[in-house]
Copies of this chain bind each other. A is one copy, B any other.
Amino acid sequence: MATIRIGLVGLGKIAREQHIPSLMGDPRFQLVAAATTSGASPVAIPVHATLAEMIAATPDLQAVTLCTPPQERCALAREALDHGLHVMLEKPPGPAVQQTRAWIAGRRVRKAVVTWKEDVRIWHPGQSWIWQPGGLGAFDAGINALSIITAVMPRPLFVTRAVLHVPVHRQAPIAAELALADGAGATIDVALDFRQPGEARWDIAIETDAGQLELRRGGAELHIDGRPVAVPASQEYPRLYECFAGLIHAGGSDVDLAPLQLVADAFLVAHRVEVEPFED
């Protein structure tokens, strides 16, 4: 199969830490250009100010990955699709999802507890877009947990209650609690917090009629009935590009709206409380 000529839009933290290394290590792709308004590329590729300029200047560009803040992504995706490009937009669930899903099958989930707490100053330094309208606040990290829980639970989830803690003069929540339900008796309590000092907690505990399962460290650790179970090493972003290449060659698409739908519904039904101001 021919190499796919791909460009990146946005060269921020996630582009540098995940997308560029994954693409450089993947023979299916050739990273040929980037578009960004904020700085140079860490690898030797032409950098353009806009997606339009990148498209105009890059013959045979076939695909783009959008690594910008969420607010701009819809317009960029449409622009790229209108030019016939393949588009990747991601928030991948962690490893161990398959194992967890298989374990849950045949069990009845009673309760799940999702704890997604980290220090925003460490994990999202200077990312002021997080606090702006559409920036999602603590959901920017928490949506990863929602990706996992919606992927492993056998039935669709819906929001029954939400509390958003929004710093004075900010638009997006620094913390949130959600109650989710699956309509079959399972309840899922979700606690998101960007004010966690020290070590981050990215944990999901699932209690069923036949044992319990814990995903810790974002899914890097799996415990079943208290015993650790081996999990394949995290290959999130390389795996994403493997899937992307497969979809491009098959002319397919893969869209998962469930996690973002839960976020929108949480904003819709939320009780919003003001908390102390937050400054980066």
Q: Report A225-276 residues with CB < 8 Å from chain B CB.
A: 261, 263-265, 267-272
Q: Does A197 contact B (CB under 8 A)?
A: no
**Which has the most chain B C-beta neighbours within 10 Å: A74, A265, A268?**
A268
Q: Which residues of B contact A269 (CB under 8 A)?
A: 71, 133-134
Q: Which residues of B contact A133 (CB under 8 A)?
A: 162, 269-272
Interface 1/0s, chain A 58-71, versus B by CB < 8 A?
Answer: 00000000000001
Contact B171 A272 (CB under 8 A): yes
Q: Does A155 contact B (CB under 8 A)?
A: no
CB distance from A260 to the nearest CB of B (A): 8
Q: Which residues of B contact A75 (CB under 8 A)?
A: 160
Q: Does A13 contact B (CB under 8 A)?
A: no
CB distance from A179 to the nearest CB of B (A): 12
Q: A74-B158, A78-B183, A160-B74 are in contact. Are A171 and B271 (CB under 8 A)?
A: yes
Other than the known A133-B271, A133-B272, A267-B268, what 7 A-B pairs have Cβ atoms closer than 8 Å? Answer: A74-B160, A133-B270, A134-B269, A171-B270, A264-B264, A264-B268, A268-B268
- A residues with CB within 8 A of B: 71, 74-75, 78, 133-134, 158, 160, 162, 171, 183, 261, 263-265, 267-272
